[in-house]
Amino acid sequence: MAKINNLTEGKVSTVLLSFFFPMLLTNLLQQLYAFADTAIIGKGIGDNALAAVGNMSALTLLIIGFSQGITNGFSVIIAQNFGSGDSSELRRSIAMSIKISAVLSLIMTICSIISLKSILLIMQTNHAILGEGLRYGSVLFGGLTATMAYNLCSCILRALGDSKTPFLAITASSVLNILLDCLFIFVLKTGVSGAAAATVFSQIISVIICMIRLRKTESIRLIRTDFNGGCRLSLTLLKNGIPMACMNSVTAVGCMIVQSRVNALGVVYTSAYSAGNKYVSLFMLPAVTAGFAVSAFTSQNYGARKYHRIKAGIRVGLIIGVVSYLILGGVMLLIPETLASLMLNGRESIRLTAAFLRICGSQFFTLNFLFVYRSGVQGMGKPFIPMCSGLLEMALRIGVIAIFLPQAGFSATAYAETAAWSGALIMNMIACHCIIKHNVIDNSLSHSLRQE
């Protein structure tokens, strides 16, 4: 029988960090094989191929980010039911999440493949990289069912306090992904399509590993009646999942608009922006992971009405953010040219990427804190606030690019990122403290009334 972990008991820092580190390794491996994809494509096929794949990153965030957001929303409800000790509702919430995810994955696959070329053209994708972008995107989005399945399985496991199984799954799939990348690109010469196929096949392996683990967990072993009806529960799941999915999507729309403005400058700028964003995605991993850990921790303790533990958990998450900023933000500030040259060949694209990394590195703490506070708000079942912060992020990105791109040039892309991070952080930080304070007061009043 698989063990599930109760995050509502024990010393907060010990419980949270023991949950955090396996998940950090999981996310690190995910990013490393994404990084390996990029490096192998850039060095094995060329800068144009790298630009084509990098140009897809905003669209990938829109589609795959939607699936991640909605499954993360489902996991909040699952974790709250687990924290409250309601095993029947726990099983039903998992069953309904599976049904909804299956339908959504089919719809998303069809819509993304049909609209792929139109979106790339709207993004002003250079014709020199349009064909490779279409080939890469068609294969990647054709495998969205595997992506959705992994996102859901890993979210369920995290909601139950299991961060080790996703790590084992990603370890296996990462090794496989890199081996398949080398086989498809260097040996079989399949180009960017092979890189996408390697990613999809590797995700299927990770899904299988997670599903085996879930089937061994007796306390959540589903029966046929768990899938019956559930309209009210489905609405609850969607009410929590859709705002989180929309938050990811509106953030992606802002990134796509920035990407389109960069594309209009030329392929060199597209390559530089792609490489810079890859490093930002890699270096924000500790904060992203801290956010995931805080979300699961907060959800379980919110269900158990242990608000003092939520405050302590958020403090631990912020400490992780500070340490991450000092180390990784420092790397971005001190050796940006070295980082850029690992991915790119052209001197101009390396120079542009280095400038982007310096600016982002100086303000990286705002992004780290944003993930922690936003996850705390989400874990307490308030998904509309993070969604509004996503709208603010989009508005700030677009506004900064529109105003400063003509004057500051390519550096405006970095200023757009840091402005978006700062605005969203302020909104979520204020909301998080207000929600905790409100619930602590309500809990105290309820306790006093019961005593009377």
Residues 59, 379: Cα–Cα separation, whole Å: 27
Torsion of CA 138, 140, 146, 152, to 10 degrees: -120
The pLDDT, as a whole number, for residue 62 is 77
Three-state secondary structure call for residue 304: coil
What pLDDT does residue 318 have?
95
Q: Across the 452 residues of the chain, what is the mean pLDDT of every consecutive 10-residue run?
A: 69 89 80 71 71 74 83 88 83 90 92 88 79 86 91 89 86 86 83 84 92 84 79 86 83 78 83 85 89 89 87 94 93 91 83 92 94 92 88 90 85 92 95 85 48 46
> Tell me, what's the pLDDT at 277?
86
Q: Quick one: pLDDT at residue 365?
A: 94
DSSP-derived secondary structure for 402-442? HHHHHHHTTHHHHHHHHHHHHHHHHHHHHHHHHHHHHHHHH
Task: With CA atoms as reference, report the closest residue to 53 among 69, 63, 65, 40.
Answer: 40
Residue partners of 278: CB distance under 8 A and separation at least 6: 34, 35, 38, 54, 57, 343
SS3 126: coil
* CA 151/CA 22 separation, integer angstroms: 16
Q: Which amino acid is at 12?
A: V
> What is the structure's pLDDT at 447?
44
- Rounded to 5, what percent of the chain is helix, strand, coil? 90, 0, 10
Instruction: Report yes or no: 379 and 297 within 8 Å, Cβ to Cβ.
Output: yes
pTM of the model: 0.77
What is the rounded CA–CA span in Å between residue 48 and residue 65? 25
For residues 165, 169, 175 and 179, what is the CA-based torsion angle, rounded to 10 degrees? 170
pLDDT at position 443 is 54
Residue 11: both structure tokens together: 């010393």
In degrees, rounded to 5, the angle at the alpha carbon of residue 306 between the alpha carbons of residues 302 and 312 is: 95
SS3 of 191, please?
coil
Residue 120: exposure state from Cβ atoms within 10 A (0-12, 13-18, ≥19): buried
